[in-house]
Structure 1
Amino acid sequence: MNSRVTMGLAGLLLVAAVIVGYWGLVLSRQPLATEPVTPPVTVALEKTVASAEDQTRQAVVVLVHDVLPFTPLTAADLTLEKLRSAPGGSLNSLDQAVGRTPWRRLSAGTWLSNESFEAGGALARMIHSDERALAVAVDEVIGAAGQLIPGDYVDVLLFLRQDAINTQHSAQIVIPAMRVLGVGEQFGLTNEGKPASPTASTDEKLKQDQRRIAARSVVLAVPEQLLSRMMLATQVGTLRLAVRSSEEQLLAKYWAGESDSSTRLSSANSQLFQFNQLAQGIAPKTIVHTRTVEVSRRGIEVIRGNQVTQQTP
């Protein structure tokens, strides 16, 4: 009886071994597991979408590396990039830029336009033809506690101390509504709406803000007819820069091309008090109206022998 049970168990084990061997043989012939294959329909759809997006993008000429001023551009300096929206006035063909000479240093990654080849630095392109850029020395007090930024508008105040010429203390607004072009090394936008300084990284922007707070100079856009007055004011007294409210929308009016130089000139003239001190103590000439007084002239006696005559010179 035991032998029959043993033989039965042996048979079962043999059958199980055959089944397991056959299953292993089948599994060994199957290919290794690979990444799921993308259906051909999906691949074709992705290619179609990519092609449609590429057709809607616009070509823009971009510099591959930094270019020095007065150096003609070559094809090796340029490349074409496809952008969803091309900047206004940008060049879209390499032939439009090859052989042209920039007047200033251009950084790698700069997209080119006709303005890239025009004369004048960033500061000269931030003012209009009836304005002048003038730097003014400031400290923490004069510069509004270091909170000025390019694009702000300020009133320039002047304080004159009492002295032998100035009989009493005086304070006045020398020029109202001056636009701040730059604070220290940080500048705003040019007349084309482009940043005057190259775009910086997050860390570099943080360093620029720190330098701006500690800046010791501010560049103002001064109307040409008020330039000499502003220069005199910086030499004869103590200046303060008073920040104007953004609710006045002065910057929006400036970009809209609304010039108010004549208005500012009239306003500055009407607010002046003892401004003759700016002429270094030389008071304006007073016009004295006099009437002509006829003075009788006496003659000269001439004696010739026994003759005496009167002659008028």
Structure 2
Amino acid sequence: MNSRVTMGLAGLFLVGAIIAGYWGLVLSRQPSPEPVAQPAFVPTTPTAQALAPVDDLTRQPVVVLLHDVPPFVAITAADVVLEKLRIAPAGSLTRLDQAIGRMPWRALTAGSWLNDESFEAGGRLARMIHSNERALAVAVDEVINAGGQLTPGDYVDVLLFLRMDSNNLQSSAQLVVPALRVLGVGEQLGLTNDGQPSSPALSNDEKRNQNQLRASARTVLLAVPEQLMSRLMLATQAGVLRLAVRSVDEKRLAHYWAGERDSSANLASANRELIQFSQLAMTTPPKPVATVASRKWSVEVIRGNEITQTP
């Protein structure tokens, strides 16, 4: 190869090496790009969520008891809480200031919602009957108690059997009072007029024991219309009672005596079907009139040795 060509190529390579080295030096002196700051991840905690709650407009506030409150003790702020319910009970309190400082007349249990009736006087039984009713206890045994199957809330017919005796000339069985509501069996009571349970919530063991006591109960509480109180009271003393349970399919039994339209007709029908006898009529049977034989008086007449009688 020609020496001149060789020298030209060597010079060309030298110039290229110088240019590459200069370019590499320039690039090494340029500042490195700053890293982009990533947003810090802040974990969401229940506390952070509680600071900004979202109100559910479909729920309504209701005042609920946190602790048991004994009677005649004022309710404090620590005893109540405001719960949001989808359906608020009728008449329930909606603000804490409506309950704080008020004094109940009876014991209130934790978990129950409050209304104005929670602070009115009257025991459990008095809040289970209406103004035209009276609560009357009837002594029962396993037979009268429908085999121990009666439950508060049932409706029963009161039947009476009378044996024949000197005051009752013939045996009779009749319906004394129909469609009476069972308020309680033994120590087990039903619901109050506002739909709340009259007794505090029970555990499973307590419910089992209460069911056993209900089966062997010796008393049944009945809601009796005021105008029929004396009749039922006399019937309990006159003869043997039976309680006949009525079907739940009779949906109008709750208005049998309290309804404005039918109660008077039902009362007239009960009075018309009642067999009148001395015990319920509060009268004694008529005494037989004693017949006194009339006594004839005569005058004895003596004529010589002849004696005659003249009227």
What is the TM-score normalised by the length of structure 1? Answer: 0.69
SS at match of 2:278: helix
Quick one: which of 145, 149, 153 aligns to 1:147? 149
Contact 1:90-1:111 at 8 Å conserved across structures:
yes
Structure 2 alignment gaps of length 5 or more: 1-40, 287-311
| DSSP 3-state at the match of 2:249 | helix
> Which residue number corresponds to residue 168 of structure 1?
170
Judge which range, 150-159 or 252-261, deviates more. Answer: 252-261
Counterparts in 2 of 1:145 and 1:138: CA distance versus 1, 3 Å: same
In structure 2, how many angstroms separate the alpha carbons of the residues matched to 1:207 and 1:58? 37
CA distance 1:210–1:243, change in 2 (3 Å): same
* Partner of residue 235, structure 2: 233
Distance of 2:282 and 2:104 partners within structure 1: 45
Aligned partners of 1:238, 1:167: CA distance in 2, in Å? 17
Q: In the alignment, what sits opposite 1:110? A: 112
* Contact 1:277–1:283 (8 Å) recurs in 2: no
Contact 1:151–1:251 (CA under 8 A) maintained in structure 2: no
Q: TM-score, normalised by structure 2?
A: 0.70
Please identify, of 194-203 and 160-169, the stretch whose mean Cα deviation from structure 2 is larger.
Answer: 194-203
| Corresponding position of 2:37 | none
Q: Conserved in 1, the CA contact under 8 Å of 2:144 and 2:241?
A: yes
In 1, are the aligned partners of 2:74 and 2:103 still within 8 Å (CA)?
A: yes
Deviation at 1:172, TM superposition (A): 1.1
1:24-61 C-alpha deviation (Å, 9 max, x unpaired): xxxxxxxxxxxxxxx989999x959x944656443322
User: Distance in 2 between the 1:90 and 1:63 partners?
Assistant: 12
Larger radius of gyration: 2
* Aligned residues of 1:90 and 1:112 also touching (Cα < 8 A): yes
More deviation, 188-197/222-231: 188-197
Structure 2 residue corresponding to 1:125, chosen from 124, 127, 145: 127
Determine helix, strand or coil for the equivalent of 2:127. helix
Q: Secondary structure, in 3 states, of the residue corresponding to 1:195?
A: coil
Aligned to 1:179: 181
> What's the counterpart of residue 190 of structure 2?
188
Structure 2 SS opposite 1:101: coil
Shift of 1:79: 2.4
Residue of 242, 263, 271 corresponding to 2:273: 271
Q: What letter corresponds to residue 219 of structure 1 in structure 2?
A: L
- RMSD over aligned CA atoms reads 3.1
In structure 2, the residue matched to 1:213 is 215
Report SS of the residue matched to 1:115.
helix
Measure, in 1, the Cα distance between the counterparts of 2:228 and 2:283: 19
The 1:135–1:252 alpha-carbon spacing in structure 2 relative to 1, beyond 3 Å, is: closer
Contact in 1 for aligned 2:186/2:219 (Cα 8 Å): yes
Structure 2 CA distance, aligned partners of 1:234 and 1:197?
28
- Runs of 4+ in structure 1 deviating by more than 3 angstroms, as ranges, are 39-44, 50-58, 82-85, 250-261
Q: Which residue of 1 aligns with 2:13?
A: none
Aligned to 1:20: none
In structure 2, relative to structure 1, the CA distance for the partners of 1:257 and 1:123 (3 Å cut) is: farther
Distance in 2, Cα, partners of 1:235 & 1:256: 26
Equivalent residues of 1:60, 1:93 under 8 A apart: yes
Q: Number of residue pairs matched?
A: 245
User: Does the CA contact (< 8 Å) of 2:256 and 2:263 recur in 1?
Assistant: no
CA distance in 1, matches of 2:55, 2:285: 72
**1:251, distance to aligned residue in structure 2 (A):** 4.3
Aligned to 2:84: 82
Aligned amino acid, residue 208 of structure 1? Q
Give how far 1:176 is off: 1.0
Q: Give the whole-Å Cα distance in 2 for the aligned partners of 1:277 and 1:256.
A: 28
Between the aligned residues of both structures, percent identity stands at 67
What whole-Å deviation, never above 9, does each CA across 1:140-166 have from its counterpart, x for those lacking one? Answer: 100100111111111111111111111
User: Where does residue 299 of structure 2 map in the other structure?
Assistant: none
Q: CA deviation at 1:275?
A: 2.8
How far residue 255 of structure 1 moved from its aligned partner, in angstroms, is: 11
Q: Tell whether the 8 Å contact from 1:236 to 1:280 is kept in structure 2 after alignment.
A: no
Inter-CA distance 235–107: structure 2 relative to 1 (3 Å threshold): same
CA separation of 1:254 and 1:166: change in aligned 2, threshold 3 A: closer
Is the 1:149–1:180 contact (alpha carbons within 8 Å) kept by the matching residues of 2? Answer: yes
Work out the CA distance in 1 between the residues paired with 2:57 and 2:206: 36
Check whether the contact 1:176–1:264 (CA below 8 A) recurs between aligned residues. no
Distance 1:88 1:76, change over 3 A: same
